[in-house]
Chain A
Amino acid sequence: DIQVTQSPSSLSASVGDRVTITCRASRDISTFLNWYQQKPGQTPKLLIYSAARLQSGVPSRFSGSGSGADFTLIISSLQPEDFATYYCQQSHFLPYTFGQGTKLEIK
């Protein structure tokens, strides 16, 4: 199975900050990497798919990049509603594994 490692596991930041979350796969997954946001008590929400494509309706301050095994999610200017847990997921090889999550908290 492909292992997906996210870092950091938690992060404190302020409104307006630029935030970077990384995800590394244990083998080449091309661009089959997706990012999800989950707020407490809510269902996961797709943010970025195919490594860099913004899901419809998601604000443009979210962006993704990478290919192969290394990927990045950037939030260019944090807004209050962005404080949540973020997960990456590889969807190239079954089982479609998730990263362990990055909890983004208010500083």
Chain B
Amino acid sequence: QVQVVESGGGVVQPGGSLRLSCAASGFTFSASPVHWVRQAPGRGLEWVAVISGDGLNTYFIDSVKGRFTMSRDNSNNTLLLQMTNIKIEDTAIYYCTRQRVKSGQNPFDLWGQGTMVTVSS
């Protein structure tokens, strides 16, 4: 079954750390860049970060640069989003999503169900 499944969300205090995981199955994981998109309660979608298929390149939105890192293990079809120095405004559902890679086409065509991160003291 082609899917991505997130885990690792929970309640964390401001300044704390959390590690989100995304487990993929049913497709050639190493061929696909993978993104994190988040959605704060009652708000729209916000793109957060991407990691290339080979894991060598990452890119983050300015608001999380220096606090979030991404890595992937293509042998186990998993990737990680390490969140540190977490802020209240990081509270959101975090979605793992696959980017299609084809000439002229690069939409996010596979989404997980999301994992909720709640930042609260």
Interface residues of A (CB under 8 A from B): 31-32, 34, 36, 38, 43-46, 49-50, 53, 55, 85, 87, 89, 91, 94-101
Residues of A within 8 A of B44 (CB): 85, 87, 98-101
Knowing A43-B112, A44-B95, A98-B44, say if A91 contacts B107 (CB, 8 Å).
Answer: yes
- Min Cβ gap B48→A in Å is 8
Contact status of A53 and B105, CB under 8 A, knowing A87-B45, A98-B45: yes
Interface pair A97/B95, CB less than 8 Å apart: no
Interface 0/1 of B85-121, CB less than 8 Å to A? 0000000000101011000111111011110000000
Q: How far is the CB of A73 from chain B (nearest CB, A)?
A: 14
> Which residue of chain A lies nearest to B97 when distances are taken between CB atoms in the complex?
A44
How many chain B residues touch A (Cβ–Cβ < 8 Å)? 23
- Beyond A36-B45, A91-B106, A101-B45, list 8 extra A-B contacts (CB 8 Å): A36-B108, A44-B45, A44-B97, A89-B45, A91-B108, A95-B47, A97-B47, A99-B44
A50–B107 Cα distance when bound, in Å, is 8
Cβ–Cβ contact A98 & B109, under 8 A: no
Set A46, A94, A97: member contacting B107, Cβ < 8 A:
A46
Chain A residue at minimal CB-CB distance from B48: A95
- Closest B residue to A44 by beta carbon equals B111
